[in-house]
Homo-oligomer: A and B are copies of this chain.
Amino acid sequence: MHITAIAGGVGGARFVRGLRHHLDTTPGLADSTITVVANTGDDITLFGLRVCPDVDTLLYTLGDGVHEGQGWGRADESHRVQAELAAYGAVPQWFALGDLDIATHVVRSQWLGQGVSLSEVTAHLAARWGLPERRIELLPMTDVPVETHVVVDDGEGSERAIHFQEWWVRHQAAIDARRFVVAGLDRATPAPGVLDAIRRADVVLLPPSNPVVSIGIVLGVPGVRDALRGTNAPVVGVSPLISGRPVRGHADACLAAIGVEQTAQAVAGLYEDFLDGWLVDPADAATTLRRARVEVFDGPLLMSDVEASARIAAHALRLAETGRA
């Protein structure tokens, strides 16, 4: 079986890790392969280094190198380089870059600077983290630089745009977002393998990633949404909301910015043109969708550890096996 997942950072990574665990521990499924199409819309250049937060979280999580408590960044991390950058007056300092993490950005930036594409760079990085051996292929959604910006009130009656990471990390999404502007998205093309991975999959899964600034950005890459509409594979998603609140992150603020109700039902509505199954938390059991089959997970929809994530992924897979709605 080949499964394709469209993922953001922490939620996507934990879901795919759980999915891999489920496959590896289920007779007959261990040789299944997974392609992860990662959001690169929250990429940012800091100190001249190209940082791909969602790709890195996927690499570290799927490669057993992640800081479990944070959900992102490296385990056993230190922060000497960034303290030195601060001593030199280099800004910004609101984005934490650990020493081990910085090496990823240095080597990525070096290779990008040599003309290597982001997908090739990502494949090199994934090799170090052992993803091929785990039968996981990690693809950036596009090789074209895309950056999400957030339009906010400048406090003087006008608007200004700040980088998504400044809004998300520095301001913790506490400033009202008027809208998102995704620089480069209209001219982006799917990275090599992305459309094929969707078209040729046996199952396509949408982890409980942010529907606006993670999965929503991947869907905005020209061709991706059409591939999802056209694939023969069932497409099953896992709700990122429980009773209208995100388990982590700021999906609520993102949904508010695009004028979508903060419910599991409304999020599924963002995918309604291609969604076949939708897994929700017991708190959202009242969810009804016109086209997609809704199932209620047996317990809270929380990826509290690998086993819990595996159970959620297993349920999503079973839902897919029931076929298109």
Contacts and interface: CB of A to CB of B under 8 A. Distances in A.
B107 A85 contact: yes
A85 to B, nearest CB: 5
A110 B47 contact: yes
Contacts of A88: 103-104, 107, 124-125, 128
- Among A78, A83, A84, A103, the most chain B Cβ lie within 10 Å of the Cβ of A103
Interface of A: 47-49, 78, 80-85, 87-90, 99-100, 102-104, 106-107, 109-110, 113, 124-125, 128
Contacts of A78: 78, 80, 99
Given A78-B78, A89-B124, A128-B89, A84 B109 contact: no
Q: Which of A78, A106, A109 has the most CB of B within 10 A?
A: A106
**7 A-B pairs closest in CB distance:** A84-B103, A48-B110, A80-B99, A88-B107, A81-B103, A90-B107, A47-B110
23 contacts: A47-B106, A47-B107, A48-B109, A48-B110, A49-B106, A78-B80, A80-B80, A80-B103, A81-B81, A81-B99, A81-B100, A81-B102, A81-B106, A82-B103, A84-B99, A84-B104, A85-B103, A85-B106, A88-B103, A89-B124, A89-B128, A90-B106, A90-B110
A208 to B, nearest CB: 30
A133 to B, nearest CB: 15
A47 B81 CA distance: 15
Contacts of A113: 48
Nearest to A48: B110
Contacts of A109: 48
Taking each of A81, A125, A128, which has the highest tally of chain B beta carbons within 10 Å of its own beta carbon?
Answer: A81
A203 to B, nearest CB: 32
A104 B48 CA distance: 13
Nearest to A109: B48
Nearest to A99: B80
A124 B85 CA distance: 12
Contacts of A104: 84, 88
